[in-house]
Structure 1
Amino acid sequence: MSTKKVAVSTSTSVLGAVIDHLFRRKNLRHISLIDGFWVPLTEAHKYAKLNFIEGVPDQDSTKIRQVIELLPKLRCALDVGANIGTTATVLANHFETVQAFEPAPDLYEALKRNLVGYPDAQAKLMVVGEEIGETYLTLYTKFGQLSHVESGHLATKKYRKVGPIKQITIDSLNLNDVDFIKIDVEGFEGPVVSGAKETLLRCRPAVLVEQAGNEEKNFGRPVNEASVFLESLGMIRHPNSPRKMHKDRLYIFPNKS
């Protein structure tokens, strides 16, 4: 009797290994390795043209390094809209723990592999918003960085609907040591900060948020929605923010400098 159980268990184990191998091969078809960094295959040409600093493509990585120099504490960092990890890997080199959220499957696969060497950094395939549940993603096939939470677009050659994808709120993580939150989610920044209100008031972290007008373009939401919300909590723009921030804004609570 016991022999039969072992045989079944071994067979199941072998089948599971085969399925896992095929799954990994399928995902690897969509990403490519450039100078030791995993990138989406459809965007490999773009990343090949970027400067690499400390082994990381300079896609916002210099900006993140400049912001880190302004932060008094470096315990937990949240990277919301982590893409392939150009900012998450930099954060992982400085913070005690990092949680990086990316809902686009191909970008997530690259992110997960780029964080392999960082045991205290986690890649999570999920959307961060103001409610817990499931949602869909408008996925741009050639420019994954433009992907965002589904907003009623019909599938075309440029983008397709992907999901359902798990959605959480930052508050649902019940964290007590968050010192920094980076948010770049193509116009969905308002719902992200709304779902982080308790964490913001409890931990009082610095927040780097993109405000590029995509709120109105992609969702019909008010422009600078996230900024208005953060300022309603008493947060202010950091007086020493890096000059070349473009459309990003660094917020802190007044007693943090």
Structure 2
Amino acid sequence: MTLAARLAPRLPARPVNVATDLLYPRFEPELARLADFCPRGGTAVDVGGWYGPWTRRLARRADRVVTVEPVPHLARRLRATSPPNVEVLQAAATDHHGTATLWLPHGGRGDRGVSSLVRREVHRSAVDVSCLALDELQLRGLTLVKVDVDGSEAAVLRGAEETLRRERPALFVELEQRIQPVGPVLSYLSALGYTGWVRPARRWLPLASFDLAGHQARTAHVAEHGLLRRSLAPHRRYVNSVLFLPSGGRPGSG
């Protein structure tokens, strides 16, 4: 377990939120570039809210934020600390309604942010959680869907297909070849008319010109570092998220 995951549950919510909001844009620099792909107003969705760095930043731009977080104590914490324009749903987003098995890492709490509906070696225990498809929410005026679910990205997107076809929001999706092959998600979103973009340094690049799987293979050791270590050494990038825009769109052109 990383240092941040050990400390966060023991500290009051406010200092944890402040520290997370300060560090996370260094850990995931795209968060500091929201203006490039998330217009003001409308509704934004944060699938996999964790301690809320994306939720709180989105709440400054969107009129409404819907955060989907399956880990019970994290969902409760988000409800208690999020701005008034945030709705927190304690559930796992997938492609069906009902219940699902959420796999948790050592310690059984989910504070590391690697809980998933897809089991892998890091997981040691499980809990049954409610699940839903984003299409059930009948969201309108949707500007952005951020997805961080450690392996079940394809199911989240399938469960949102009707919404994606109708609303055409930007998508910011964590994809890691070491967890699940990225090809099926890329093919699925291409068929829906989306084009991928990444920001490995100071500018956005078309995903088509960036070897995502090769980059991740070369920098996989960085992925094992925790939030604090990666935030304090941001020059060691491990790009594990892709921005998808409707074909023809470019980051920063809105």
Structure number with greater Rg is 1
1:225 aligns with 2:184: yes
1:52-91 correspondence to structure 2 within 5 Å: 52-53=21-22, 57-58=24-25, 62-72=29-39, 74-91=41-58
1:193 corresponds to which of 139, 152, 157: 157
1:73-152 correspondence to structure 2 within 5 Å: 74-115=41-82, 118-142=83-107, 143-149=111-117, 151=119
Q: Following TM superposition, by how much is the alpha carbon of 1:62 offset from its aligned partner in structure 2, in angstroms?
A: 4.1
SS of the counterpart of 1:122?
A: strand
SS of the counterpart of 2:51?
A: coil
Determine the C-alpha separation between the residues in 2 that align with 1:184 and 1:225. Answer: 16
SS of the counterpart of 2:62?
A: coil
Counterpart AA for 2:246 = F
Task: Check conservation: 1:179, 1:206, Cα contact below 8 A.
Answer: yes
SS of the counterpart of 1:90?
A: helix
Determine the C-alpha separation between the residues in 2 that align with 1:236 and 1:169. Answer: 23
Select the structure with the greater relative contact order (CA < 8 A; seq sep ≥ 6).
2
Q: Which ranges of 4 or more aligned residues in structure 1 deviate by more than 6 Å? A: none
- Where does residue 213 of structure 1 map in the other structure? 177
Q: 1:72 to 1:123 in 2, by over 3 A?
A: closer
- Where does residue 220 of structure 2 map in the other structure? none
1:254 aligns with 2:222: no
Give deviations 1:61-108, integer Å, cap 9, x for gaps.
Answer: 642231333334541100001111011100001111000111112322
Determine the C-alpha separation between the residues in 1 that align with 2:17 and 2:125. Answer: 23
Q: 1:234 to 1:209 in 2, by over 3 A?
A: same
- Where does residue 126 of structure 2 map in the other structure? 161
Counterpart AA for 1:127 = A
Determine the C-alpha separation between the residues in 1 that align with 2:141 and 2:182. Answer: 30
Determine the C-alpha separation between the residues in 1 that align with 2:106 and 2:194. Answer: 37
Q: With the length of structure 2 as denominator, give the TM-score of the two structures.
A: 0.70
Percent of paired sites with the same residue: 23
In structure 2, runs of 5+ residues without a counterpart are 1-7, 206-236
Q: 1:211 to 1:61 in 2, by over 3 A?
A: closer
Q: Following TM superposition, by how much is the alpha carbon of 1:34 offset from its aligned partner in structure 2, in angstroms?
A: 6.1
Counterpart AA for 1:88 = T
Task: Check conservation: 2:44, 2:142, Cα contact below 8 A.
Answer: yes
Determine the C-alpha separation between the residues in 2 that align with 1:255 and 1:223. Answer: 22
1:33 aligns with 2:12: yes
Counterpart AA for 2:115 = S
Task: Check conservation: 2:25, 2:31, Cα contact below 8 A.
Answer: no
Greater shift, 92-101 or 144-153, is seen at: 144-153
Q: With the length of structure 1 as denominator, give the TM-score of the two structures.
A: 0.69
SS of the counterpart of 1:88?
A: helix
Q: Following TM superposition, by how much is the alpha carbon of 1:215 offset from its aligned partner in structure 2, in angstroms?
A: 4.6
